[in-house]
Chains A and B, each alone.
Chain A
């Protein structure tokens, strides 16, 4: 039990489809994050939320649209994706965003494949 649950674990979609990734944390944390992990590349931070407010968009294309309705849930809405968007998308949470001595807790990710 990692405390951070992501669904679905695997997703295959066409470039014209619209889908959403879901993340839920049961740790009472105030900060949530989306990361992208492409093959043979380091994890890249995409978005940061603190108390449901987006505090960072790390130059992510608008075809990725995050949503944080409350501090326990985080969504990543996908539309009109490109083949290069195929990757593992990871969600993480931490107590708050500015605790350099706080760990981040990760989910196991959604493996996304774009046809």
Chain B
């Protein structure tokens, strides 16, 4: 499976935008880019996903580089409740055989939000 690389930690101030980067230079053409986050004492929470085009939802925006070798999760106005571990994950789109919807989690980026 293609790997992702994220910074170990990032910090932000409340009500400022946050850009969380992810590198995935070995991404294949059918891999979807997923982002999850895990708040303290909770299970992971789906944030957003995309394939080629930028995506927006009520939680965040996902900006995907034209060559798809990197992506950025954008939180437009960080709140204290956004403090969490953010995971960037590639999911094989060629879902036959052994894919089984696997989500392969890495270490993620620990986001700290300051008041």
Q: Which A positions have Cβ atoms within 8 angstroms of B?
A: 2, 4, 31, 33, 42-43, 45, 48, 50, 55-56, 90, 92, 94, 96-109
The answer to whether A31 and B101 have CB atoms under 8 Å apart is yes
The answer to whether A45 and B102 have CB atoms under 8 Å apart is yes
In the complex, A22→B101 CA distance in Å?
21
The answer to whether A48 and B100 have CB atoms under 8 Å apart is yes
Task: Tell me which residues across on chain A come within 8 A of B101, comparing CB atoms.
Answer: 31, 33, 48, 94, 96-100, 102, 104
The answer to whether A90 and B32 have CB atoms under 8 Å apart is no
**Interface mask (B73-96 → A, CB under 8 Å = 1, otherwise 0):** 000000000000000000111011
Q: Give the residue of B43, B95, B96, B103 whose beta carbon is less than 8 angstroms from that of A108.
A: B43
Q: How many A-B residue pairs have CB under 8 A?
A: 69
B106 within 8 A of A: yes
Considering only CB atoms and an 8 Å cut-off, how many residues of chain B contact the other chain? 27
Task: Tell me which residues across on chain B come within 8 A of A33, comparing CB atoms.
Answer: 101
In the complex, A50→B46 CA distance in Å?
20
The answer to whether B43 and A100 have CB atoms under 8 Å apart is no
The answer to whether B96 and A98 have CB atoms under 8 Å apart is yes
In the complex, A2→B43 CA distance in Å?
10
Tell me the nearest residue of chain B to A31, going by C-beta: B101
Q: Give the residue of B92, B104, B105, B107 whose beta carbon is less than 8 angstroms from that of A100.
A: B92
